[in-house]
Amino acid sequence: MIRAVIDTNVLVSALLTSNGAPAKVLNHVILGNVVVCYDSNIMSEYREVLARPKFNFDQKLVKRIIDFIELKGISIIPQPLSVEFEDEDDKIFYEVAMSADANLVTGNKKHFPNNTIVVTPQEFLNIIEEHLG
């Protein structure tokens, strides 16, 4: 099973553009090929960002996605890391990924330490394809 921490920007992109790499990543989550790892801070951020009026997302769909992640995903209690982040809100995604031995899928790799677990949606799709054969 492939574990991943999904940065909020990937979920936003998946909901904005149904045929891009982020949407394909979300499809793999829904199909059960990827298990999302999260903690309460990540879930709170998902809820807050995906409810922003500027996106105008269907809130029933957003609720179904978040409920699915909570039901099928893995809740992690991350180990705090002493890594400095320009935006401390990004740190929790990295801490959960490191604690869960999971990939961190993000559209903003430059916001995270240079580490092979930090991948773009397209890079993660390549990992999924390798894994599924």
Residue 102 has pLDDT above 90, yes or no: yes
Domain count, the chain: 1
80 Cβ neighbours under 8 A, 6+ residues apart? 95
Give the residue among 14, 84, 71 at the shortest CA–CA distance from 94.
84
In which domain, by residue range, is 30 found?
A: 2-132
- Give the residue-averaged pLDDT of 107-115: 95
Q: What is the CATH number of the domain that holds 65?
A: 3.40.50.1010
pLDDT band at 133 (very low <50, low <70, confident <90, very high): confident
